[in-house]
Amino acid sequence: MPVLLKLLAPGQSRRLDPAEQWTVHIVGVATGLLLLAMAFGWYVKREIALFLFLGAVLSLAFLTTTANPLRHTGRSWPAWGLVALSVLCCGYFVIMQPVHEMRLPMIDELSTLDIAASIVLIALVMEATRRCIGMILVVLVTIFLAYAIFGNRLSGSFAHRGFSTQEIVDHLVFSTNGLFGPAIEVAAFLVVVFVIFGALLDRIGGADFFYDIANSLVGKQVGGASKVAVVSSGLYGSISGSPTADVVTTGSFSIPLMIKTGVSRTYAGAIESAASTGGALLPPVMGSAAFLMTDFTGIPYATIVLAALIPALLYYQSVFLAAHFKAHRDGLAPMSQGETPSIVAVLRRDWAYLVPIGLLVWGVLSLNRPSYAGAIACAALLPVALLRQPNPLRLARTLFFGLSDGMRGMIGVGVACAIAGLVVGTLSMTDLTGKISSGLFQMSGGSPILTILVAAFVIIVLGMGMPTPAVYALSAVLAAPALIALGIEVLPAHLFIVYIASMSAITPPVAVAAFAAASIAKANPVLIAVVACRIAMVAFLLPFVFIYQPALLLSGSTAQIVISAGTAALGVLALNAALEGYYVARLDRVKRAILFVAGACLFLPIATTEIVGAVLLAGTTAWLWAGRKTGRTSPRIA
């Protein structure tokens, strides 16, 4: 059985020979330049651009990933065969686009070659998904496709009228509701620009800049190494939007530093995993799920980003406090002065990095054209790169490999969005969405809170090992209708999905961010995931809070927003103190229980419970301070 599981498991990175490396670079750079040019306004037909993008993503996926962990990582001729097949299929659709553009979907007949190319393309997408993401999503898509083919043989409310092969192919490949639908369109025209920006920024030293900023701000504090990990991962993650990439990039510095200063290997990996996962929630990029949300809901991107700001800050408050209380409880010393540069020195040396980042934030909030804003930010990186690397040849090399890195970073997202389009297409064709929503209601007995809990469970299960954009795309058509049917507004319902979907990166048993951190920390990945979930507990609670308290999403009067944010911040403080066992001084079980109850009360959107929580927190604080003054507690402050 273990061998079978490994045969079905995702592949590993391939060791590329020089010819393969240059093939990957050329495909990545050419595709990246094309999509950046389109973001600047160069016109290319939507369909042709999507065919080229999918062909590039599939080719890169097969070239860079083995079929399974047991396969050798050297050159693979079957992989080259799959690359050739991907190029042929996508090239066929590019060549035939003028012909297909003239036909009436679902009315004009498809040729045998059209159907054959479509079926092969669907199979290639599923194989790339199996290699890059795993079997869970492939099995899910297979179930939905089987339902489309055989669902007419069912009885009861889940039966449908039945569809021919041509109807299924027409809907999944030749309509805008399937493979080439909103999910892959957002990946190709929006997400890729920001991923390329993050890759270019990293190539010219952006990750070091974020690390130095974080180090200068919090490095001198108790538990400074852990706090540097939180701040730097948040800053970098807000741009990259990828928990795994964030762990690998910032974690390579922060995890060894935390271990060196006395943090356990497991906790160091957990702090980095939790902090990196929050990057998918922090504006302006938000793990690219916000771009998909704009397409699914029609809500302007700037509105989504602003609404997500307070919950994201509360999340990072939680992770920061977890690191703070843990460091005090364990008596960790601050880092040495020589390891922490001054903020003035960092900004004097590297102020230029703030220009493209500032342009990115300004463009996203002001232009209402996120892709154009991302393209402007990419262009603004050029003078920054020139300042750091005056040599034109080295500068060209940096930009070349930055573009290549960006497209390689799009492999997982592109494949996930492509296969998510197949699921969305099947759901829309069979009207299964409404039936699933009804099923959620029936499972919960019509109870609103149980419906929300069931929806959260479904999203977590869907998210095991999948990138956040793919989880969101699936959940937006599976769970969002049930939430909206409860009377929940569209924005809170979809942000609820984004939060729960993002947590899949640290949710056992398939916690990709935790596994990435484990490889650096040399610790048990499951234990890292469990501790990371405890540190990130607020992220599991906040979605339930802002559904019933939309003021946290800036919906309401100024007084409501301030009160809601303030009580939530106090709740974060109380919960983290209870979980970490430190607040003013080390806590015994009684005080931890009181603070836990206080935190829970402060999170409940009921005025009475919020007052009770505030009184409990204030009373416990006074009790602990009085104990410190009289020597009745034994604080351990480094």
pLDDT digits (tens, 9 = 90+) for 561-572: 999 999 999 999
pLDDT in tens, 237-282: 777 767 877 888 888 888 988 888 888 999 999 999 999 888 878 8
Please compute, for residue 130, the number of CA atoms within 13 A of its CA located in the half-sphere on the CB side.
Answer: 20
User: Considering the chain, what is the average pLDDT of its residues?
Assistant: 85
Whether 466 maps to a domain, the answer reads: no
Question: How sure is the predictor about 638, in pLDDT bands with cuts at 50, 70 and 90?
Answer: very low
How far apart (Å, rounded) are the C-alpha atoms in residues 239 and 282? 9
241 against 94, higher pLDDT: 94
**How many structural domains does the chain have?**
2
For 581, the 3-state DSSP assignment is coil
How far apart (Å, rounded) are the C-alpha atoms in residues 311 and 545? 10
Do residues 60 and 24 make contact, with C-beta atoms less than 8 angstroms apart? Answer: yes
pLDDT at 636: 43
How far apart (Å, rounded) are the C-alpha atoms in residues 502 and 518? 19
Whether 427 maps to a domain, the answer reads: no
How far apart (Å, rounded) are the C-alpha atoms in residues 584 and 568? 20
Please report, to the nearest 10 degrees, the dihedral formed by the alpha carbons of residues 54, 60, 65, 67 taken in order: 50
Q: Tell me how crowded residue 273 is: count the other CB atoms within 10 A of its CB.
A: 37
Q: Enumerate the H helices of 308-391 as residue ranges.
A: 309-330, 343-350, 354-366, 370-388
Give 201: exposed, middle or buried? Use CB within 10 Å, 0-12, 13-18, 19+.
Answer: buried
Kindly report the pTM of this predicted structure.
0.83
DSSP-derived pairing of the beta strands 582-583 and 585-586: antiparallel
pLDDT at 91: 94
Whether 357 maps to a domain, the answer reads: no
pLDDT at 487: 84
pLDDT in tens, 193-205: 888 988 898 888 8
Task: Please say whether the dihedral angle defined by the alpha carbons of residues 179, 180, 183 and 189, taken in this order, is positive or negative.
Answer: positive
Question: How sure is the predictor about 1, in pLDDT bands with cuts at 50, 70 and 90?
Answer: very low
Q: Enumerate the H helices of 190-308 as residue ranges.
A: 192-203, 206-218, 224-240, 243-260, 265-277, 289-297, 301-307
pLDDT at 339: 64
Question: How sure is the predictor about 448, in pLDDT bands with cuts at 50, 70 and 90?
Answer: confident
Whether 179 maps to a domain, the answer reads: yes
Do residues 576 and 325 make contact, with C-beta atoms less than 8 angstroms apart? Answer: yes
pLDDT surpassing 70 at residue 609? yes
Question: How sure is the predictor about 134, in pLDDT bands with cuts at 50, 70 and 90?
Answer: confident
Do residues 322 and 579 make contact, with C-beta atoms less than 8 angstroms apart? Answer: yes
Q: Which residue has the tokens 């507690």?
A: 633
637 phi and psi, to 5 degrees?
A: -110, 125
Question: Which residues, other chains included, contact 217 with Cβ-Cβ below 8 Å and sequence gap of 6+?
Answer: 231, 343
Which of 587, 577, 527, 519 shows the shortest CA–CA distance to 267? 527
Average pLDDT, integer, range 308-315: 92
Question: Which residues, other chains included, contact 188 with Cβ-Cβ below 8 Å and sequence gap of 6+?
Answer: 35, 49, 50, 53, 414
For 583, the enclosing helix (H) or strand (E) is strand 582-583
Whether 374 maps to a domain, the answer reads: no
pLDDT surpassing 50 at residue 410? yes
pLDDT in tens, 579-596: 998 988 888 889 999 999
Whether 422 maps to a domain, the answer reads: no
| 392 preceded by a cis bond (ω within 30 of 0) | no
pLDDT surpassing 70 at residue 629? no
pLDDT at 634: 45
Which of 287, 265, 260, 276 shows the shortest CA–CA distance to 210? 276
356: left (phi over 0), alpha (psi -120 to 50) or beta: alpha
The CA-CA-CA angle for residues 281, 283, 285, to 5°, reads 90
pLDDT surpassing 60 at residue 312? yes
% pLDDT > 70, the chain: 94
Do residues 220 and 340 make contact, with C-beta atoms less than 8 angstroms apart? Answer: yes
One-letter identity of residue 48: I
pLDDT at 2: 57
Which of 165, 137, 159 shows the shortest CA–CA distance to 147? 159
Last residue of a domain, one of 136, 157, 183: 183
Helix 411-430 and helix 392-409, axial crossing angle in degrees, nearest 10: 30
Question: Which residues, other chains included, contact 28 with Cβ-Cβ below 8 Å and sequence gap of 6+?
Answer: 56, 60, 403, 404, 405, 406, 407, 408
361 against 335, higher pLDDT: 361
How far apart (Å, rounded) are the C-alpha atoms in residues 453 and 444? 9
Q: Tell me how crowded residue 390 is: count the other CB atoms within 10 A of its CB.
A: 9
Q: Which residue has the tokens 């309509």?
A: 175
pLDDT at 226: 87
Whether 143 maps to a domain, the answer reads: yes
pLDDT at 240: 72
pLDDT at 63: 92
Q: Tell me how crowded residue 349 is: count the other CB atoms within 10 A of its CB.
A: 12
Last residue of a domain, one of 130, 165, 183: 183
Do residues 476 and 292 make contact, with C-beta atoms less than 8 angstroms apart? Answer: yes
Which of 563, 539, 537 shows the shortest CA–CA distance to 552? 563
For 582, the enclosing helix (H) or strand (E) is strand 582-583
489 phi and psi, to 5 degrees?
A: -65, 155
CA terminus-to-terminus distance, the chain: 51
Question: Which residues, other chains included, contact 600 with Cβ-Cβ below 8 Å and sequence gap of 6+?
Answer: 571, 575, 613
The CA-CA-CA angle for residues 6, 466, 225, to 5°, reads 100
| 627: containing domain | 556-638
pLDDT at 7: 57
Do residues 440 and 451 make contact, with C-beta atoms less than 8 angstroms apart? Answer: yes
pLDDT at 388: 81
Which of 107-121, 128-142, 143-157, 439-453 shows the highest mean pLDDT?
107-121
Q: 147-162 burial by CB neighbour count: b if 16+ within 10 A, else e? A: bbeebeeeeeeeebee
Whether 633 maps to a domain, the answer reads: yes
How far apart (Å, rounded) are the C-alpha atoms in residues 288 and 191? 6
How far apart (Å, rounded) are the C-alpha atoms in residues 264 and 636? 18
Last residue of a domain, one of 129, 154, 183: 183
